[in-house]
Amino acid sequence: MMRVKNAGDYRESLQELSPKVFYMGKRIEDVVTHPVTRPHVNSAAMTYALASSRKYQDLFTTTSHLTGDRINRFTHIFRNAEDLITKVRMLRLLGQKTGTCFQRCVGLDALNALYSVTYEIDEKYKTEYHSRLKEYLKYVQSNNLMCVGGMTDPKGDRSLPPSKQIDLDLYLHMSGKNAKGITIRGAKLHQTGAVNSHEIIVMPTIALGEEDKGYAVAAAIPVNSPGITMIFGRQSNDSRKFEEGGMDIGNPRFGLVGGEATIVFDDVFVPWERVFMCGEHEFAGPLVERFASIHRQNYGGCKGGIADVLIGASAAIAEYQGLAKVSHIRDKLTEMIHLTETLYGTSIAAAVEGKPTPSGMFYVNAMLANVSKQNITRFMFEICRLATDIAGGLLATMPSEADLRSPEVGRYVEKYFAGAAGVPAEHRMRVARLIENISGGTALVEAMHGAGSPQAQRVMIYRQGGIEEKKRLALALAGIAGYEKTE
């Protein structure tokens, strides 16, 4: 694998890997140049471009605790609260620069969750998972690789555990084992950035019992390994990516959300040095919980940055339409800002209130991380609703770029979609398409279900809510015998 130093190297490395990717039933030969995947490659490339920029180096790079070398922050193990705070700041800036998902967070969070859990597996069983992971991490850091974290299984009948499914492949599992390694079989769904990553890090998706220990597998696999096939998912208005000009995409350079794919594993071989869990079922639950909490902390950063872009676009279109000074427009923009800063604040709080694990990995405050993501499932919808309110009905009825360029009807579009004070129709249309891109379709689905459904966060919030301790506080103040106030 070539060492990736910058955005150009990143694109070249993907062409070198040439993963097996299908879209609309046909093979994508080059994810870097294909219209449907190119915007997602561009977005992920920003994680390399900004890291190699002198202006942003301190934000996007740090020092490896393993080698002492300067590394991309997306390959770093969190060591303290400042690392987690800096991550959120970095993610917000990336959201501002791309207006979409830049896809590299999931692999970062998978590495951190595994770093802590493999240490604890080794402590109990005297295994070598942690040392293997550290060697793998050195490889990822030295080559500046992008990893996709594979957690979500198809699940089939959700009322049944993995080993009771009619089709045992509905949860990824170990299908074979020998002296050289293991083979794995199954699939991972909704995988953000999979088609333009270098490595796949698979993990269990739920807590597992003894009968399901064959599903307790964590491992790292190159995306072009034999037996791996990826199927790129459809997105709202994705056929617009094939049109000339690109204005109707709304965000033509960086696209919609993160470019999710289904990854199929058809008896994929993994050598032992890349296996980090193999049957230790009691650690599946802690791994899922840590990964989920680390990942949920991100959302106040990345979605905060995207919300910043949406606020700016809403303010611009209000100005274009002669409404910038109207009080209710200002009130709506103020509410959008308030909600955005609330999202950002809870992510920062989850970092500040975090604690180190025995491995040395600094873990977020899980309660606040889940609260942050729970806020995302509500506030992003409200921010998008307000943007749609400000922009008006043209988001749903506006003519196409082809109509604007048409010799026959273009003059009508230019005339009747022009804005206030001589604002050309094209400017108004471009900003409206950007608002449509961010506030419609897959963006809101990702805000709702990314990093787990809203109910998944509510389960963890209740579990970590300290209900019994809060009851003791209340009963002591109420004077209930046995709960007397103590200093």
Catalytic residues: 101, 105, 192, 260, 295, 299, 302, 446
Token code pair at residue 145: 């690789």
> What are the structure tokens assigned to 109, written together?
């969070």
CB-CB contact of 149 with 198 (8 Å)? no
Three-state SS for 191? strand
What DSSP state is assigned to residue 65?
T
Helix pair 284-297, 454-463: axis angle to 10 deg: 110
Beta partners for 229?
Answer: 264
Please check whether residue 375 is in contact with residue 346, taking contact to mean a CB–CB distance below 8 angstroms: yes
3-state SS record for 255-312: CCCCCEEEEEEEEEEEEHHHEEEECCHHHHHHHHHHHHHHHHHCHHHHHHHHHHHHHH
The pair of structure tokens assigned to 458 is 């509510």
Alpha helices in 279-409, H assignment, sequence order: 284-297, 299-320, 327-352, 366-391, 394-397, 401-405
Q: Show the tokens assigned to 132.
A: 């293997």
Burial of residue 474 (CB within 10 Å: 0-12, 13-18, 19+) is: exposed
Distance CA 255, CA 249 (A): 7
- Sheet (strand 147-150) strand order: 147-150, 199-202, 217-222, 275-278
CB-based contacts of 54, cutoff 8 Å, min separation 6: none
Angle at 83 between CA 78 and CA 88, to 5 degrees: 110
Specify the pairing of strand 217-222 against strand 228-232. unpaired
What's the half-sphere exposure (Cβ side, CA atoms, 13 Å) at 439? 29
**The two three-digit tokens of residue 163, written as one number:** 């080993």
Token look-up 């506006």 returns: 398
Q: How many residues are there in the chain?
A: 487
Show the DSSP H helices in 64-145 as ranges.
81-98, 105-125, 129-143
Q: Sort strands 275-278 and 217-222 into parallel, antiparallel or unpaired.
A: antiparallel
Structure tokens at 230: 């990826």
| Whole-number Å distance between alpha carbons of 456 and 373 | 10
